[in-house]
């Protein structure tokens, strides 16, 4: 069963969630894990794509946008309207809803901040997972 972690960040800046998503993806990549970053739309996917290149000067995280085609084993994929083309280890969710395919992942990270809309949507997802018996943990960052 998928292990779900909620990361509660201080502040209301969307950029902080994006940078934290990149940090999680980098950590997982260095551990040999395959990561899927699920975004709300193509604009957010492109922002994450660019942020992965620049969030740390000494970092390199091989990644690509997911177009639903085979990804040649790229360890980090970014997408918003299609599920990953293969099984992967970690799902980082930046969308307001849970992706329908979340249960195919070993782990899932939900990133919440102090923005009221993001908190409200996060609470709804937390209840959704809890009602279905998923193992939930919360980290305050």
This prediction's pTM: 0.93
| Res 81: pLDDT | 85
- Which whole number is the average pLDDT over 120-141? 96
pLDDT digits (tens, 9 = 90+) for 30-78: 999 999 999 999 999 999 999 999 888 888 999 999 876 666 788 999 9
Domain CATH for 121: 3.40.50.10110
| Side-chain-facing half-sphere of 105: CA atoms under 13 Å | 27
- Which whole number is the average pLDDT over 8-16? 89
Domain count, the chain: 1
pLDDT digits (tens, 9 = 90+) for 88-123: 999 999 999 999 999 999 999 999 999 999 999 999
Q: What is the DSSP string of 83-108?
A: --SS--SEEEE-SSS--TTGGGSSEE
| Res 82: pLDDT | 84
Q: Cα separation of 65 and 115, whole Å? A: 26
Asked if 126 and 136 count as a contact pair (C-beta separation under 8 A), the reply is: yes
Domain that holds residue 49: 3-140
Q: Is 27 helix (H, G, I), strand (E, B) or coil?
A: helix
Q: Is 24 helix (H, G, I), strand (E, B) or coil?
A: helix
Q: And the tokens for 116?
A: 């009221």
Q: Does 8 or 71 have the greater pLDDT score? A: 8
């Amino acid at each position: 069963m998928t292990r779900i972690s909620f990361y509660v960040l201080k502040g209301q800046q969307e950029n902080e969630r994006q940078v934290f998503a990149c940090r999680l993806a980098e950590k997982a990549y260095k551990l040999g894990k395959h990561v899927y970053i699920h975004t709300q739309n193509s604009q957010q996917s492109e922002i994450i794509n660019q942020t992965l290149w620049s969030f740390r000067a000494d970092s390199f995280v091989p990644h690509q946008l997911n177009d639903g085609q085979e990804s040649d084993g790229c360890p980090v994929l970014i997408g918003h309207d299609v599920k990953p083309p293969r099984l992967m280890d970690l799902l980082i969710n930046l969308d307001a809803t849970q992706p329908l395919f979340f249960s195919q992942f070993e782990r899932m990270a939900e990133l919440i901040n102090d923005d009221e809309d993001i908190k409200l949507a996060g609470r709804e997802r937390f209840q959704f997972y809890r009602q279905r018996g998923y193992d939930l943990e919360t980290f305050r960052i």
